[in-house]
Amino acid sequence: MIARRVLIYAAAILFAAATIQRFHWLGGPYFTFPDTIQDHVWPVRFASADAIVLSRRAEPLLPRGAKVTVITPSEAPNYDQTHWLTGLGMLPRQHVVPQKFDGQTIPDYVIAIRGPFDDARYRQIATFPEGFLYQRK
């Protein structure tokens, strides 16, 4: 009976230590809700997490049915498809288009992650901690 109780306490202490180590590895803050579910899985922030947060912040500024794309300007011209696909899920009232600026599918708005978007056809209309929002002139 005593051996069983010792085994239970030892297992509880081991699992508590493993949980504390995991939370310490992920980094703080420990007692606040994260911006996205992705903040629970790795200590480095994913760019798609920034796409989620930016889409949430930009959505009230975007008119219904506007053509929008989500990019990381530093990746030009081979943009990561994950970002605009994230925008596709996060912006249901807008028409999210692929990251092409070829003249036929030019978006009305561009959500730029982590860096400025240098294109003479667009003007910046909002700045967020994770990036910028641009509107076509």
Within this chain, do residues 93 and 132 fall inside the same structural domain, yes or no?
Answer: yes
Q: Name the residue range of residue 103's domain.
A: 47-136
Q: Is residue 39 part of a domain?
A: no
Q: Which residues of the chain have pLDDT under 70?
A: 28, 103
Please tell me the pTM assigned to this model. 0.75
Q: Given CA atoms 98, 100, 103, 106 in this order, what sign does their dihedral have?
A: positive
Predicted local distance difference test score (pLDDT) of residue 121: 87
Give residue 60's pLDDT.
Answer: 93
CATH code, 60: 3.40.50
- pLDDT for 128 equals 93
The per-residue pLDDT for 12 is 95
For residue 125, the model assigns a pLDDT of 94
Please indicate, yes or no, if residue 73 is contained in any of the structural domains: yes
In a shared domain, residues 25 and 56: no
Together in a domain, 80 and 128: yes
Structural domains of the chain, count = 2
- Is residue 119, in this structure, part of any structural domain at all? yes
Contact 135, 119 (CB under 8 A): no
Residue 68 lies in a domain: yes
Question: Do 73 and 6 share a structural domain?
Answer: no
